[in-house]
Structure 1
Amino acid sequence: MEGSTPKSRASLRTNATTRDPERTRAAILRAATEEITAKGLTGARVDAIAERAGINKRMLYHYFGDKQGLYLAVLEETYSAIRAAEIGLNLTELDPVAGMRKLVLFTWQYFIDHPEFLSLLATENMNRAENLKQSQSIRPLHRPLTGMIEELLQRGVKQGLFRKGVDPAELYITIAGLGFFYMQNRYTLSVIFGEDLSAPKRLDRRGEHIVEVVLAYLKPPEKK
């Protein structure tokens, strides 16, 4: 705006944002995610988050109470996003093998596309999930995921495609672990093995490898 000062422009931006509560909350969460991902929970500053979001600090406290409350909201929002995306896969409409393949590749691609998700997970695990334990919504969020996997497994068993007795949660941990370790350690592994493990072709190969490992495990044992 011509003739306006940086301070007045910031005030206009803040006023426009605060008139829309949902937009304000989303802006704060987005800014907090960026700040915490870049600097960790200890290094993240409320002042910097407020500046990123284009609001004053009092508005942040109004929505989230304090820094810990904001961090917990970031964690819940982050988990909600991936769980909602998984539900949108509509795996029940696919045959069991195709459905499992789609779930594995989706999980892998999500890790590639959302480094902030992996960063937040690493931060919270360093804190022994002390913040996540305070959430009332995390466990219910995961029930549709395990239910979806269980449905795929049951159909696969009935069709003779999958082994019996596979625990849905254990299987998901395996799927996530095969991707998470690679993404979190790809830079050191690249040095060790003399290959750029972040190259697109290498990432594609890893995704297919995870699919092959999971499907090989799920294959029923051969009858003697």
Structure 2
Amino acid sequence: MTDREEIEQLASGIPATKKVTTRRKSSDGTRKIILDAALEVFSEKGYDGARVDEIALRTGLNKNVLYHHFGNKDELFKAVLEHMYQVIRERQNDLQSRDLDPVSGMRKLVMFTGRIWVQHPQFLRLLHSENLLEGRHVKQSDVIYNMYSPLTATINDLLTRGQAAGVFRDNIDPVDLYISISALTAHYISNRYTFEGIFKMSLMSPQRIKHRLEHAADMILRFLLVDPAGHDGSKGC
């Protein structure tokens, strides 16, 4: 039975307004099934190694259903990236940093960003694959671009309030700062296997991860603070 036939069978005998809702719910559910399977395959094998046939096999759907919803492999990969960026940004939106003093808010932003990489390691694998493609899908996506305006605004707010209070240095670029936060937190996760082999130690225990994120937060704050020695950046958290 095709996707369309299944929808029509489910919707038979239902009033027109409810049929539209049923179709929409069925379509949304099908898209989610496809995105979940595509996320698994793309994160395991990268863009080049992934095959639409395998994604279809994992969903239990006909391959034509995937093409109906996403058009082609490129569009499907872009949709997976947009989905994961949305998950990440929704988590970052929970930060509520504007209710905190600038130092505590910045520390919390670093810790929050680091935990995202721990909780969603498949996102890092997707980013690695996309960077090998020179970011072509991200560059095509206005959705992803627009997601990051609120994050930049949050960082700007923390910097502005910190500078007005005389605790943060002036002339800090928010984009450079976020790239540094990502580098200090994501690199640890994406390279953990080689680090563990080199240093003969486990890096993914809760205690070790907490230590690493606190280390990253301390480094960011020591860069930002006008007087690092005279201000305990861990206070108020």
Normalised-by-shorter TM-score class: 0.7 to 0.9
1:97 aligns with 2:89: no
Counterpart mapping for 1:187-202 below 5 A: 187-202=193-208
Deviation per residue, 1:182-224 (Å, 9 max, x gap): 11111111222222222222111101100110111110158xx
Whole-Å separation in 2 of the counterparts to 1:166 and 1:90:
21
AA partner of residue 102 (structure 1): K
Q: How does 1:120-139 map to 2 (within 5 A)?
A: 120-139=126-145
* Residue correspondence of structure 1 range 8-27 to structure 2 within 5 A: 15=6, 19=23, 20-27=26-33
CA offsets, 1:97-143, max 9 Å, x none?
11111111111111001011100000011111122222222221111
Choose the corresponding residue for 1:140, options 123, 142, 146: 146
Q: Give the CA deviation at 1:51.
A: 2.5
Bigger CA drift: 184-193 or 27-36? 184-193
**1:65 aligned residue (66, 71, 76):** 71
1:203 maps onto 2:209 in alignment: yes
Distance 1:164 1:111, change over 3 A: same
Q: Does the 8 A contact of 1:105 with 1:207 survive in 2?
A: yes
What TM-score, normalized by structure 1, do the two folds share?
0.88
Question: Which sits farther off after the overlay, 74-83 or 143-152?
Answer: 74-83
Corresponding position: 1:108 with 2:111:
no
- Percent identity between matched residues is 44
Hey, what's the Cα distance between the residues in 2 that align with 1:216 and 1:68? 42
The unaligned stretches of length 5 or more in structure 1 are: 1-7
Assess, with a 3 A threshold, how the Cα gap between structure 1 residues 144 and 173 changes in structure 2: closer, same or farther: same
Number of aligned residue pairs: 212
- CA distance, structure 2, for counterparts of residue 90 and residue 27 of structure 1: 31
On the 8 A contact 2:167/2:227 being kept in 1, the answer is no
Matching of residue 152 in structure 1 with residue 164 in structure 2? no
**Matched residue, 2:123:** 117
| Match status 1:218 vs 2:218 | no
Q: What amino acid is aligned across from residue 55 of structure 1 in structure 2?
A: L
- TM-score, length-normalised on structure 2? 0.83
Match of 1:3 in 2: none
For residues 45-70 of structure 1, give each alpha carbon's deviation from its aligned partner in whole angstroms, at most 9, with x where no partner exists.
21221232232211111110011110
Deviation >3 Å, runs of 4+: 14-19
Q: Which amino acid is the alignment partner of residue 192 of structure 1?
A: I
Check the 8 A contact 1:104/1:210 in 2, yes or no: yes
| CA-atom RMSD in angstroms | 2.1
Question: Structure 2 stretches of 5 or more lacking a match?
Answer: 11-21, 229-237
The match for 1:74 is 80
Q: Give the corresponding residue for 2:233.
A: none
